Structure 1
Amino acid sequence: MPLLTIKHVTEYSYRQPVSFGEHRIMMRPRESFDQKLIEAKLEIQPEPRELRWLHDVFGNSVAIALFDRRAKLLKVTSQFTLDHAPLAQGQVDVEDYARLFPFTYSSEDMPDLLRSIERQHHDPTRIVDNWARNFVNDDGPTDTVGLLTEMATSIKRDFTYVPRQEKGTQTPIETLAARQGTCRDFAVLMIEAVRALGFAARFVSGYVYNPSASEGRVGGGNTHAWVRIFLPGSGWVEFDPTNGIVGNRGLIRVAVARDPYQAIPLSGTWSGFPASFLDMSIDITVRMAGSDLLSHPTHGAINSRFATTGSQ
């Protein structure tokens, strides 16, 4: 299992001291059988008056920081080390009744999956529905994993990845029309498409890294976004439409949510003169123990107060 150390630094700078409201920090990876957290630390400058932790409705770890001093700089540094156990596409095992599409989730699972099947975006002319149906065979059975794999790989193949620092996501219809977008745009498109077919799907935010020098990954400019789909027999399985991969190889989960706005890594408020805000910078590095490989370093200022990692 790869031993990874990830450091995520976010800085907001201001012309003169400002006061800070409550900030929510969602940068601690979810612990599970395939992600074993060995060490984690969170440093905040200025030091908050109070820092407490909670689990949100999805079980994500969230730190709540409260401040009582003004400052010209807000710096949040999250660093952790974990064992990562990648799951490859060939290890996805589906129950017999769900191996061919369409199928119906069991009566035991369905009540808990309903909100993850529910559509989030209006599609009055069924544009997303029709696109999703392209992956279903008209003249015979459709392999369930094959359908989902082809959808993920077709997004990588037919759409252009374009980084965008502004807050928010395109609608699935906008992404289909533009044939380009960010990792979060592609994740939202795939979520809506598979929900149109009756699958339970969730949005995932986390980190992406290159498992080896020969394997390239894109979409790691800030944090990365992908999809989890519930498949009977394997449970929640990762699909990354930005990179066209199935399984969690190269993917570290931090937050799982029904909608992207529920998985923002850093959000909060500040008070001061409107022109006080200068800029924001993000630096993310991923290192593997025993290797010189450094995955997806991100450096430099992001000159937007609407960057995806904060809502200052």
Structure 2
Amino acid sequence: MAVFNIIHITKYQYNLPIKESINEIRLFPHNFENQDVLQYQLSITQNPNVAISNDYHGNRVGNFNTLESHTEMTIESRMLVRVNHSLKIPEIDHTKVSDLNLHNDIYLLRLCYPETIAKQDEIDAILKEIDCSDKSIIEIAYECSKYIYNHFAYTKGITNIETTVDEILGHRKGVCQDFANVLLQLLRTAGIPSRYVSGYICPNESGLRGEGATHAWVEIYTPKQGWLGIDPTNNIWTMDNHVKLAVGHNFIDCTPVKGTFKGVSKQTLSVCVSIGYEDGRHFEEINDVELQKNSVEYQQQLDYAEQQQQ
């Protein structure tokens, strides 16, 4: 069991004033069997009203508007979370894909459909190499995770949230979100209900890859044990240092912050994650996030607006 004090700060800055910012956030940690949210506090620039609801996957979602003109928006999420995973490989479970009976469960069926990609033959080849024919769901998930861990290099800065599975298969490099997407394609092709998970991986003495920042992994479903988390970035089942925020079919369903605004402005985004421990230790990481490139038309409008300011 472990208790973490996590501060997640998302900061948008604009070189020209914008207005009518409309946003949707998924920054509320899960309460579930292995995780208790002891405290939670949300602070947003200009203190807008936040309407909270639950989405299709059971995530808490906040929606808010900032109508006034502004050049900066900060969203600060503070949480005290207690995690109590088993810290061991899931119990022996011989359930196979052929044993699944999902005909009456639309939610699980939807989580069995892989993306349509150009390099599906490479996914099929990996599954053939693993030989899933007589393996249990648990074994298939672990073998797929191990394959990614051994054959894909953990490399920062060459992918972003829009990088496709085809691109990841091409260069076989990336970070946690990329490995989660490849694992989802493998597991769903094999017929296993699987979902994307966003959260944090808190640093420990073993030095896990991706720790200290927002993290992504995968959950698989078995009739006997329910949802089980597996982290292909580190080739481990989720442990006490995995804190879950949101789940979904893919990253889009779990995006921590997304929105739109009125105005023509160049925006920058930075994310700071600070993690405090019961023994007084503290870890902090700041990342500048690469945003989607502007269209040619928008860039022309931006250039013109900037010239008018000179």
Q: TM-score, normalised by structure 1?
A: 0.85
Matches of 2:274 and 2:70, distance apart in 1: 26
Partner of 2:43 in structure 1? 43
Partner of 1:161 in structure 2? 154
Q: Does 1:306 align with 2:305?
A: no
Residue type of the partner of 1:285? Answer: S
* Structure 1 segment 67-82 matched on structure 2, within 5 A: 67-82=66-81
Which residue of the other structure, out of 242, 246, 257, is the alignment partner of 2:237?
Answer: 246
Matches of 2:291 and 2:138, distance apart in 1: 40
Partner of 1:14 in structure 2? 14
Matches of 1:261 and 1:271, distance apart in 2: 22
* Structure 1 segment 19-30 matched on structure 2, within 5 A: 19-30=19-30
- Secondary structure of the residue aligned to 1:242 is coil
Verify the 8 A CA contact 1:169 1:185 in the aligned structure 2: no
Give how far 1:288 is off: 1.7
Greater Cα shift, 83-92 or 29-38: 83-92
Matches of 1:66 and 1:266, distance apart in 2: 13
Q: Could you tell me which runs of 5 or more consecutive residues in structure 1 were left unpaired when the two chains were aligned.
A: 308-312
* Structure 1 segment 141-180 matched on structure 2, within 5 A: 141-164=134-157, 167-180=160-173
- Secondary structure of the residue aligned to 1:131 is helix
Give how far 1:198 is off: 1.0
Partner of 1:310 in structure 2? none
Greater Cα shift, 123-132 or 229-238: 123-132
Give how far 1:153 is off: 2.2
Q: Summarize the Cα distance change of 1:228–1:109 in structure 2 as closer, same or farther, 3 Å threshold.
A: farther
Q: Does 1:208 align with 2:207?
A: no
Partner of 1:105 in structure 2? 100
Partner of 2:302 in structure 1? none
RMSD: 2.3
Give how far 1:196 is off: 1.0
* Structure 1 segment 152-301 matched on structure 2, within 5 A: 152-164=145-157, 167-210=160-203, 212-213=204-205, 215-220=206-211, 222-273=213-264, 276-292=265-281, 294-295=282-283, 297-299=284-286, 301=288
Greater Cα shift, 4-13 or 158-167: 158-167
- Secondary structure of the residue aligned to 1:126 is helix
- Secondary structure of the residue aligned to 1:17 is strand
Give how far 1:221 is off: 6.8
Q: Percent identity?
A: 23
Q: Summarize the Cα distance change of 1:153–1:299 in structure 2 as closer, same or farther, 3 Å threshold.
A: same
Verify the 8 A CA contact 2:119 2:166 in the aligned structure 1: no
Residue type of the partner of 1:153? Answer: K
* Structure 1 segment 44-63 matched on structure 2, within 5 A: 44-48=44-48, 50-63=49-62
Q: Summarize the Cα distance change of 1:221–1:2 in structure 2 as closer, same or farther, 3 Å threshold.
A: closer
Give how far 1:109 is off: 6.6
Q: Summarize the Cα distance change of 1:38–1:133 in structure 2 as closer, same or farther, 3 Å threshold.
A: same
Give how far 1:122 is off: 2.8
State the Cα deviation string for residues 44-88 of structure 1 (Å, max 9, x = none): 01222x211011111101111111211111000000001111233
State the Cα deviation string for residues 134-164 of structure 1 (Å, max 9, x = none): 21267xx434423321221221222111224
Matches of 1:3 and 1:222, distance apart in 2: 16
Greater Cα shift, 167-176 or 251-260: 167-176
Q: Summarize the Cα distance change of 1:137–1:204 in structure 2 as closer, same or farther, 3 Å threshold.
A: closer
Partner of 1:122 in structure 2? 117
Verify the 8 A CA contact 2:273 2:285 in the aligned structure 1: yes
Matches of 1:124 and 1:32, distance apart in 2: 36
Give how far 1:180 is off: 0.8
Q: Could you tell me which runs of 5 or more consecutive residues in structure 2 were left unpaired when the two chains were aligned.
A: 294-310
State the Cα deviation string for residues 219-243 of structure 1 (Å, max 9, x = none): 2475211100012211111111111
Greater Cα shift, 225-234 or 125-134: 125-134
Verify the 8 A CA contact 1:238 1:247 in the aligned structure 2: yes
Q: TM-score, normalised by structure 2?
A: 0.86
